[in-house]
Amino acid sequence: MIDRHDTTDIPGSPTGTPPPDGGHLIVFDTTLRDGEQSPGISLDTAEKLEIAEQLARVGVDYIEAGFPVASQGDFEAVQAIARSVGTQPGAPAICGLSRTQLGDVDRCWAALRDADRARIHVFISTSPQHMEHMLKMDEAQVLAEVRSGVSRAREHTADVEFSPQDATRTPLDFMLEVLRTSVEAGATTLNIPDTVGYGIPWDFGALIQHIRREVPGDYLLSTHCHNDLGLATANTLAGVQAGARQVEVCVNGLGERAGNAALEEVVMALRIRADQFPGVTTTVRSEELARVSRLVARLTGYPVQYNKAVVGRNAFAHESGIHQHGVLADRSTYEIIDAAAVGQVGRQIVLGKHSGRHAFADSLAKMGISIQGDGLNQAFTRFKELADRKVEITEDDLEAIVAEEVGHDLVEGFLLDSLEVSGGTVGVPRATVVVSRGGSKSEATADGNGMIDAACVAIRQATGVDAKLIGFTVSSVTGGVDALGDVVVQLEAGGAKVSGRGVSTDVVEASARAYVSAVSRLVRIQERNDRRQVEIGP
């Protein structure tokens, strides 16, 4: 991890200074600063305020609200957060980032000064790569900048953080000299940034131990780890185990390039594996994690990957039959986190091609459908056939499968007999469809916003079924110019939600077939419900 040319090796963990026993771990959230530096994210003041208010509800200790000198908008956002969130009782301290230039430091303080508790975070690059290609400075000049910038920040506030940017690629002897200089100038928190995600957990932990031993003074050690190698959370935890008592994190792991250590991952790892971090505690209210995750995703436009740890859509979902059987018996079989503890819903059974008979029968039972013996076997076989072609099976799909397989007299659905469309850059897109049902044909012509829309409108007119389109997905079954288009539509009518699938080399035709399929399911469900009403009676 360290560029050790002309430096001494870092002693490993067994010979280093023992980490402090337990203690409060400061959670320093930098979503509004480093997180906003993710490509394509640009939050306005109102959006930053909304996120900052939710971070306060989460219970983080510090909110790094921005980089005030970067732009007038950033200055105003930091100032607004300092004046609003930063003055609330029990609120997090508000921090601003600053280069070592005196004007930057003063500008940062001007944005922060109205907060009840404010921190100036001063940084400068220290790696050979950054010093040569960015700063155009030598080591003596960098040391002078550190001394000057930190001293000026200390004139404004007693809470000063210093970061040697690209620390993990900085020669060890020089980094230690920089850190000693910053402490002498008044820094109270030393943050060790793995700016380019170069760190490896055991090496990063050893580095934290070495700094604690070699840099005298009264200060707190902090981690700031990037995820370029997928190790940001692991490196952060190694730092905590080695004695760091502040972690710099972002909601959903946002940040430059591959992002930063994720707030939700670090907090829950510390909580679930408390045996590895005895006595280490945070003030984070974990039940707010899912909420802040959704808020940040919505305002930044960065969706959370489905399999994201702790807050992803699939974090507590189970499709494998063996896993489903286990969690239905007891949550702890396959869930190490109580979903409610992070604001999620646990034991989510997702029916798909990997699901087993146990989960299938359980889902039917929860829907109020009780079948056994051959009827269950036939329905399960039909379900598996459908699951091979459909990623996720809905409750309405299950009702239709059961109705078909246990001998209900279902009325035949609609068939798409023909489709003719016209469109392009000139003229209004138009579609003519012919659908049939039970030997009776119906034709309709309609205009639309595009050829697919026109086809769907025509099908609504021809079938007489008015439904709301709530989902539309197009994918390619194969590759090449002759690829089959696979379309799945979801419709809602009368409280029922159904899906239909259509496949064709023509995506308009595939869409029409999917729409007709979904309409047929709606009709079947409605007619089945009508028969139930007749059987039950008034």
Examine the pLDDT at 507 and tell me if it is beyond 80: yes
Determine the Cα–Cα distance for residues 98 and 124; give it in Å rounded to an integer: 9
Examine the pLDDT at 445 and tell me if it is beyond 80: yes
Per-position b or e across 358-382, b if 16+ CB within 10 A of its CB: bbbbbbbeeeebebeeeebebbbee
User: What is the predicted pLDDT for the residue at 434?
Assistant: 96
User: What is the predicted pLDDT for the residue at 8?
Assistant: 36
Please choose, from the candidates 219, 103, 216, 244, the residue with its C-alpha nearest in 3D space to the C-alpha of residue 160.
219
Residue pair 267/250 in contact by the 8 Å Cβ criterion: no
Q: Which residue has the higher pLDDT, 390 or 519?
A: 519
Sheet holding 485-493, edge to edge: 468-476, 485-493, 496-504
- Strand 348-349 and strand 118-125: pairing? unpaired
What are the residue ranges spanned by the domains of the chain?
20-300, 317-405, 415-536
Indicate the pLDDT class of residue 334, thresholds 50, 70 and 90: very low
CATH of the structural domain 317-405, one choice from 1.10.238, 1.25.10, 1.10.3470, 1.10.10: 1.10.238
* Tokens, residue 65: 């609200």
Indicate the pLDDT class of residue 17, thresholds 50, 70 and 90: very low
CATH of the structural domain 415-536, one choice from 3.30.70.20, 3.60.20.10, 2.40.340.10, 3.30.160.270: 3.30.160.270
- Measured CA distances, 428 to 293, 434, 446, 449 (Å): 42, 20, 10, 8
Please choose, from the candidates 168, 342, 160, the residue with its C-alpha nearest in 3D space to the C-alpha of residue 239.
168
What average pLDDT does the chain have?
A: 82
Quick count: other Cβ atoms within 10 Å of Cβ 218? 6
- Measured CA distances, 492 to 60, 157, 369, 500, 524 (Å): 41, 59, 21, 12, 13
Tell me: the pLDDT tens digits for 274-321?
Answer: 999 999 999 999 888 888 888 888 788 888 877 787 777 665 554 445
Indicate the pLDDT class of residue 395, thresholds 50, 70 and 90: low
Please choose, from the candidates 271, 235, 274, 280, the residue with its C-alpha nearest in 3D space to the C-alpha of residue 253.
235
Determine the Cα–Cα distance for residues 509 and 502; give it in Å rounded to an integer: 8
Examine the pLDDT at 338 and tell me if it is beyond 90: no
Tell me: the pLDDT tens digits for 447-481?
Answer: 999 999 999 999 999 999 999 998 888 876 445 55
Residue pair 485/474 in contact by the 8 Å Cβ criterion: yes
Indicate the pLDDT class of residue 14, thresholds 50, 70 and 90: very low
When pLDDT is averaged across residues 487-491 and rounded to a whole number, the result is: 84
Quick count: other Cβ atoms within 10 Å of Cβ 293? 25
* Tokens, residue 227: 């995820």
* Tokens, residue 376: 């269950």
User: How much is the pTM?
Assistant: 0.64
* Tokens, residue 42: 């640009």
Tell me: the pLDDT tens digits for 148-177?
Answer: 999 999 999 999 999 999 999 999 999 999
H-run or E-run covering 420? strand 415-422
- Strand 93-99 and strand 317-318: pairing? unpaired
User: What is the predicted pLDDT for the residue at 2?
Assistant: 39
Indicate the pLDDT class of residue 46, thresholds 50, 70 and 90: confident
**Which segment of 169-183, 241-255, 370-384, 430-444 scores lowest on mean pLDDT?**
370-384
* Same CATH fold assignment for domains 20-300 and 317-405: no
Examine the pLDDT at 325 and tell me if it is beyond 70: no
Q: Which of 107-121, 292-306, 394-408, 464-478 shows the highest mean pLDDT?
A: 107-121
**Which segment of 182-186, 324-328, 393-397, 493-497 scores lowest on mean pLDDT?**
324-328
Quick count: other Cβ atoms within 10 Å of Cβ 439? 6
CATH of the structural domain 20-300, one choice from 3.40.640.10, 3.20.20.80, 3.20.20.70, 3.40.50.720: 3.20.20.70
